[in-house]
Amino acid sequence: MRVLGLTGSEAGDSGVKHLSSFLEDPNCTLENLNLDNCSIGEEGFTALASALRSNPSHMRELYLEESDATDSGVKHLSSFLEDPNCKLEKLRLKNCNIGEEGFTALASALRSNPSHMRELGLEGSKATDSGVKHLSSLLEDPNCKLEELNLDNCSIGEEGFTALASALRSNPSHMRELWLTESKATDSGVKHLSSLLEDPNCKLEVLNLNNCSIGEEGFTALASALKSNPSHMRVLGLTGSEAGDSGVKHLSSFLEDPNCTLENLNLDNCSIGEEGFTALASALRSNPSHMRELYLEESDATDSGVKHLSSFLEDPNCKLEKLRLKNCNIGEEGFTALASALRSNPSHMRVLGLTGSEAGDSGVKHLSSFLEDPNCTLENLNLDNCSIGEEGFTALASALRSNPSHMRELYLEESDATDSGFVPNH
């Protein structure tokens, strides 16, 4: 046995103790063990950690998300991790009730045996600044080759965030994915992180800073850093930042760089006005071939900005697959331009979210021309609360009927459907 997946089983401590007898057998060469969401308590977790410690050399991937690890169990696991014979490469401990004491012990163990770990998931732990400082000592070690670090929802304050950014800056070449959602980054911390991003040796591909209290100053520094080192980033999450038009203009300079190959950009709820939205659309239009997912919910797009975005969408080199424009104040004119652009380049879009736009029957009729195109392969369409009357609803239904095989999810809440729209062959 090399790979064993038992996610969601009711293992309990008793079952895990039996499994531990297998793991500590010298003939056991298991490499991948998944016990996510297995109702493991402290007793079972401690037994598991002890077994791994007695036979440490084979395990490469260990998944223990949603277990009740506690600090005591994590300390036992840390004894396994610090063993020179331990070659573990992936460890997931999401939502395991790890307190500062356990987090610090884990970080210390990894620091004493730093060269094997590639992916570390600690979402939802109570890291605190003190624990993150210990983790930072690992990250700055030249022997550390960690490629993916997830600290989403870890209550990291400015002090911890700054220490983390500083450590990554001193050892910049290995990290590929960094997840820091819900941390209290602040502009000061983000500026430190920006120094990492602009380092030519930094190869970071995924950066998630959703809901990190980033103001315009920090956002601008981040955008400037990306512009100076544009070729590696693939996924960028900045939901809930106070980007403002100024910050988005800086980001646009990064996006229009021919070396920029960003594929996924999330700017939901970033206080983007018409000026910023227009600059963003213009940048995408000048470098259209890489972006695959674009999230702009709660921005003040306006019809003018959406028309610029439409110029990007109708470009034959545009391969965008997911577009979210929920609650973006799009009027009938902008909606119609958007639908027309999709109609002229119909084959790539898979997910389209237009909740809260003022589509009107006229706009939906234009969208219907896109939907009935045989090259349209849209799978998910959200038109909730789009002021669609009977005429628009009927046109939409007719278009879907003429090209019925691709659509998987359809959202039409708050439309004025009427019985007529539901009558067969109407």
pLDDT of residue 421: 67
Question: With the CA atoms of 37, 40, 41 and 47 taken in that order, what torsion angle do they form, in degrees rounded to the nearest 10?
Answer: -150
- Tokens for 262? 């960003």
- How do strand 235-237 and strand 3-5 relate by DSSP bridges? unpaired
Residues 6+ apart with CB under 8 A from 271: 242, 243, 244, 299
Reading phi first (left if > 0) and then psi (alpha if -120 to 50, else beta), residue 128 is in left
Residue 56: Cβ within 10 Å count = 19
Mean pLDDT by 10 residues, the chain (426 residues): 95 91 96 95 90 96 91 90 96 91 91 96 88 92 97 89 92 96 87 93 97 88 94 96 88 95 96 89 95 95 89 96 94 90 96 92 92 97 93 93 97 82 61
Q: What is the pTM of this model?
A: 0.92
Contact call for residues 403 and 378 (beta carbons, < 8 A): no
Rounded to whole angstroms, the Cα distance separating 15 from 166 reads 43
Which of 285, 347, 333, 6 lies closest to 277 in space, CA to CA? 285
Contact call for residues 43 and 11 (beta carbons, < 8 A): no
pLDDT of residue 422: 67
pLDDT of residue 5: 97
- Torsion sign across C-alpha atoms 166, 171, 173, 178: negative
Rounded to whole angstroms, the Cα distance separating 68 from 228 reads 44
- Tokens for 51? 């077994």
Angle at CA 117, nearest 5°, toward 116 and 120?
180
Which residue has tokens 């050892």? 171
Which of 184, 258, 193, 201 lies closest to 223 in space, CA to CA? 193
Residue 120 has phi, psi (to 5 degrees) of -135, 115
CATH T-level assignment (fold) for domain 1-97: 3.80.10
- Domain ranges in the chain are 1-97
Helices (H), 297-389: 302-313, 332-344, 360-371
Rounded to whole angstroms, the Cα distance separating 106 from 104 reads 5
pLDDT of residue 380: 98
pLDDT of residue 423: 65
- Tokens for 390? 């009977």
pLDDT of residue 286: 95
Residue 181: Cβ within 10 Å count = 18
Which residue has tokens 């999450």? 237
pLDDT of residue 56: 95
> Kind and range of the H or E element at 160?
helix 158-170
